[in-house]
Amino acid sequence: MVTKFSSRWFLAGCVGVAAFGSVTPAPVRAAVAVAQDAKAELEKKLAAIDKKDANALFQLALWAEQNNLKTDSKRLLRDVIKVNTDHAEARALLGYEKFNDKWLTKREIDREKAKAEEASMAAKGLKKWKDQWVPAEDFEKLEKGLVKYEGAEGVKWVTPEQKERLERGMELVDGVWLSKEDMEHHRAGEFKVGDKWLKEDEANKVHADFTNPWVLEGEYVALTTTCTYKFGKTALMHADATVRKVHEIMGLPLPKAGDVEKIGLIMVKDLADYSQLGNQVGDGTDATMSSNWSSFMLSDPNSGRLAGVTIYEVLQQGNDTANDNFSLGHCRFAVACAAVRNLQYVEPPSPWFAYAVASYCERYWVAMGREADNKAWGKWTLDTLMKEGGAIDLKTYFDPFQPTRQSLLQSGAIIGLLVSGQKSKKVEEQWAKVVEGFKKPKDKGLLKDFLKLETILGKDGQKDFDAHVAGIQG
């Protein structure tokens, strides 16, 4: 037999509810009667006083409190301060205090004190971070999780991990951080994996699994990869060179290595790993990119910064040189796109720009290559563009820009024209305004300059672009 819970029987134990009826205990009946009598008396007293007499209202509020009519007492106290805003006794019972000639609650006073303290500290150049006041220029760095390190070269801001490395006297050698005692192993071609030192081939096998990848660092880029260590070192060289090229294109000074947060780059060899990373993308454009371009951006949930994600592609089995070169292009694209999009702007550039710079760095410029290499890559890219439907007319290319294979193949050539091609005076002058706008991150107008550049390219730049493309193809 199943016994069902009955709320009626439960209440019987609390207030005396019987099985088939209810009997209210005598003490409860007495308390209810007293409350009802007090409520009735309060109504009589309220009717007998002048409701504009603050003191009379206050005395009645005290009477209500003494007779356990707490809700009515609070209501009457609020009526008191409506009649007499500065009735000190009523204010006190309602939880108010006089602060700077204003009646405020404790919470409001705490808020006012905090605002006053903040203004006072701001005047001294300080800003509150957690429970301490710090120099305003330090605040943003602390928010990013950086800490101060004082070394022989002075004070610099680094990550806690970097600080530990510096304090231990570690050096970045060939993409790997090494302590003095580790140097001998590195010279012998050994790498620490867990608590073991392994030869390079053995370490490559361990790090081919994305649960335990290589983590290598360059000057401006941090690489996570399941590729070989040898390829990873080359990829870092291309990635660092790409960051330098992006700053050159945009006319921006190159920051000192170590003074900026490194750009994240992820390159995997397994399509399943790439797909798993692609499934984490929240941005619709990047989700499309992961499908049609083999590279996309992934946002770091902690910092909000973007990391470039790409895949090592095997175009020809057994042709490691060709496969490496093609995949190094992917690295350049992913790093360039992340470098442009991670910069701080009051107004961001037009949507096509980051992809165009990335396409240029991947397809029309080879890091540490020769001019002949650049032209060969450019010609191959333009031949591929012809197979994708040919170049889009510049009058319709920018509005709206869609990152398709066709538009991305073409976009790098547009940057090539702007950076080093022969162009009309109008295009030259407007591009110069855009570049100048990059140097003024606090000024608005960058987007307007981009829109004007797009209009001029559509009207006056088509012939320049066609000639530039023909020069690459010829």
- How many domains does the structure of the chain reveal? 2
Residues 419 and 338 in one domain: no
Residues 285 and 333 in one domain: yes
Residue identified by tokens 């009515």 is 72
Kindly list the distances between the CA atom of residue 331 and the CA atoms of 30, 225, 335, 353, in Å, as whole numbers in the listed order. 84, 11, 6, 18
Residue 221's domain spans which residues? 208-342
Task: Give helix then strand counts, H and E, for the chain.
Answer: 21, 15
Give, as one character, the DSSP assignment of residue 181.
G
390 lies in some domain? yes
Burial class (CB in 10 A: 0-12, 13-18, 19+), 51: middle
Looking at residue 83, what is its pLDDT?
92
81 lies in some domain? no
> Between vectors from CA 372 to CA 371 and to CA 378, what angle results, nearest 5°?
90
Residues 335 and 359 in one domain: no
Looking at residue 371, what is its pLDDT?
79
304 lies in some domain? yes
Q: Look at residues 32, 117, 38 and name the one whose alpha carbon lies nearest to residue 70.
A: 38
Looking at residue 29, what is its pLDDT?
58
Q: To the nearest whole percent, how much of the chain has pLDDT over 90?
A: 57
Residue identified by tokens 């006012």 is 112
| Contact of 450 with 351, CB cutoff 8 Å | no
Residues 386 and 297 in one domain: no
Give, as one character, the DSSP assignment of residue 219.
S
Per-residue pLDDT tens for 7-28? Answer: 333 333 444 433 334 455 665 5
Among 279, 309, 342, residue at a domain's last position: 342
Residues of the chain with pLDDT under 70: 1-35, 441, 443
Residues 393 and 467 in one domain: yes
Calpha distance 437→60 (Å, rounded) = 70
Looking at residue 234, what is its pLDDT?
96
Residues 395 and 445 in one domain: yes
335 lies in some domain? yes
Residues 255 and 372 in one domain: no
460 lies in some domain? yes
Residues 333 and 383 in one domain: no
Kindly list the distances between the CA atom of residue 140 and the CA atoms of 11, 12, 126, 303, in Å, as whole numbers in the listed order. 59, 63, 12, 12
Looking at residue 22, what is its pLDDT?
46
Looking at residue 364, what is its pLDDT?
95
Residues 462 and 424 in one domain: yes
* Tally of CB atoms within 10 A around 92: 13
47 lies in some domain? no
Q: How many CA atoms lie within 13 A of 127 on its CB side?
A: 10
Calpha distance 395→414 (Å, rounded) = 13
Among 314, 342, 370, residue at a domain's last position: 342
- Specify the amino acid at residue 368: M
Give the three-class secondary structure for 406. Answer: helix
Residues 225 and 268 in one domain: yes
Looking at residue 8, what is its pLDDT?
36
Among 321, 342, 363, residue at a domain's last position: 342
Residues 296 and 414 in one domain: no
Looking at residue 393, what is its pLDDT?
95
Looking at residue 10, what is its pLDDT?
32
Residues 332 and 363 in one domain: no
43 lies in some domain? no
- Specify the amino acid at residue 109: I
57: its two tokens: 């209202």
46 lies in some domain? no
- The CATH number of whichever domain residue 280 belongs to comes to 3.40.30
